[in-house]
Amino acid sequence: MKDQNTSLPIYHGNETIRNISFMVNVAWGNEYLIDLLKLLKERNINVTFFLEGRWVEQYPEYALMIKDSNQEIGNHAYSHKDMRTLTVEEINMEITKTNEKIHEVLGVKPKYFTPPYGYFDSRVLEIAENLKMETILWSLDTVDWKIENPNEIIDKIVPNIKNGSIILMHPTESSLTALPSIIEKALDQNYKIKKISELLNNN
């Protein structure tokens, strides 16, 4: 949750409601995307995909698959740079160029932004807020870009799921393999899996 009067990132949803969300950051991993979307469809689950602008430009057909699967679309900056190292103009460009590309390809205007690597400073938050976007981070991280054993991901995530958890993942083999177990264990504990917008609006 976030104080509406200040520019702060959001790390989780309402901690009194049994909802959780997955955020899928996409700048690579095309080879696992179709199977990931198939898995989500089979389980009737919608999550939020944060897309890199450059990736949308290079792979519009994959971006369209995500949108057409009724998944929510967020902004993951244009070129996956550490936003803290950029000028104000460059930060603005990274976010706005991605919004423009997503709108051009998908007809969607993202409301949510997540910075590459989770790195940000006050300028990044202020620029996102000026663009009427909320900055989303996470409360649980699969670290699936370096953890290859899906059981390790399951053991890392499942015991730590709480009301409002936002779980970060990417299109990787390890997360794709771990996800069915994570979903089943969450559902068994009566959690509902929501898109970020639903998580934050307590739907």
Look at the block and give the residue holding tokens 């939020």: 48
Within a domain: 3: no
**pLDDT at residue 6 in the model:** 55
Asked if residue 8 is part of any domain, the answer here is: no
CATH of the domain at 70: 3.20.20.370
Range of the structural domain that residue 127 is part of: 19-200
Does 81 fall in a domain?
yes
In a domain, 5, yes or no: no
Q: Is residue 45 part of a domain?
A: yes
Q: What is the mean pLDDT of residues 98-123?
A: 98
Taking the C-alpha atoms of 90, 92, 97 and 103 in order, what is their torsion angle to the nearest 10 degrees? 170
pTM for the complete prediction?
0.95
Q: Quick one: 81 exposed, middle or buried, by C-beta within 10 A (0-12, 13-18, 19+)?
A: middle
Q: How far is CA 160 from CA 17, 79, 140, 142, 174, in A?
A: 16, 31, 8, 11, 18
Does 9 fall in a domain? Answer: no
Instruction: Give the pLDDT mean for 126-136.
Output: 97
pLDDT band at 7 (very low <50, low <70, confident <90, very high): confident
- The mean pLDDT of the chain is 95
- Any domain includes 112: yes
Q: How far is CA 92 from CA 76, 77, 98, 119, 132, in A?
A: 13, 9, 10, 15, 12
123 burial level (CB within 10 Å; 0-12, 13-18, 19+): middle
Within-domain flag for 86: yes
What is the per-residue pLDDT for 30? 97
Our count of domains for the chain comes to 1
Q: What is the pLDDT of residues 155-184, one digit of tens each?
A: 999 999 999 999 999 999 999 999 999 999
